[in-house]
Amino acid sequence: MNTCLGICYRLRHLLWRAPYSIFDLAMSAGFLAMGLHLLLFPDLFSRFDGVYFPMRRVMDQVMWAWIFIGCGGYGLLIVLWPRRPRFILRLLARMAVAFCLLSFALNNLSSYQPPMSGMLYAVLAVFSIWSIVRIRCDG
């Protein structure tokens, strides 16, 4: 019960005060949703083969979905945890989300002509790498 209240309080703090953690929250929630989306529409990669070919070549769609769900879920858990988690756990959460973003951005940019969302993902990926570099032990 206390943990639930703590999570609600933390969510309110993130939405109200909007510190840098809002980026972590948005990206983690986004990848969790994208993972679920990939599971809901299992033929997405084959239908848009031109865009998702580099990702499909590495793993099939379901595996990517579970990776996104795992990384997004872990990031969400860390950012919403009422007490500040250990530095290494926070760093790992940001690394996981940055890995997803960067994979997605590079995948989109590798197709010719890159889709418009590729630019957005590229910018977000740069920011996610920056968030790893700037994470503070006491922050």
Identity of the residue numbered 47: R
Helix, strand, coil share (%) of the chain residues, nearest 5: 80, 0, 20
Rounded least distance, CB 4 to other proteins, Å: 31
Q: Which two tokens stand for residue 129?
A: 């790498």
For position 70 contacting other proteins by CB under 8 A, the verdict is no
Other Cβ atoms within 10 Å of 94 Cβ, number = 23
x/- track of binding to other proteins for residues 44-63 (CB under 8 A): ----------xx--x-----
Q: Which amino acid is at 24?
A: D
Task: Judge if the upstream peptide bond of residue 113 is cis by omega within 30 degrees of 0.
Answer: yes
> How many positions of this chain bind other proteins (CB under 8 A)?
26
DSSP per-residue letters across 72-88: HHHHHHHHH-SSPPPHH
- 116 phi and psi angles, rounded to 5 deg: -60, -35
For other proteins, the closer of residues 11 and 129 by Cβ is 129
Q: Does 85 bind other proteins (CB under 8 A)?
A: no
Give min distance, CB of 2 to other proteins, in A. 25
Output 2 or 57, the one with its CB closest to other proteins: 57
Residue 34 within binding range of other proteins, rule CB under 8 A: no
Site residues, other proteins (CB under 8 A)? 54-55, 58, 87-88, 91-92, 95, 98-107, 109-110, 125, 129, 132-133, 135, 137
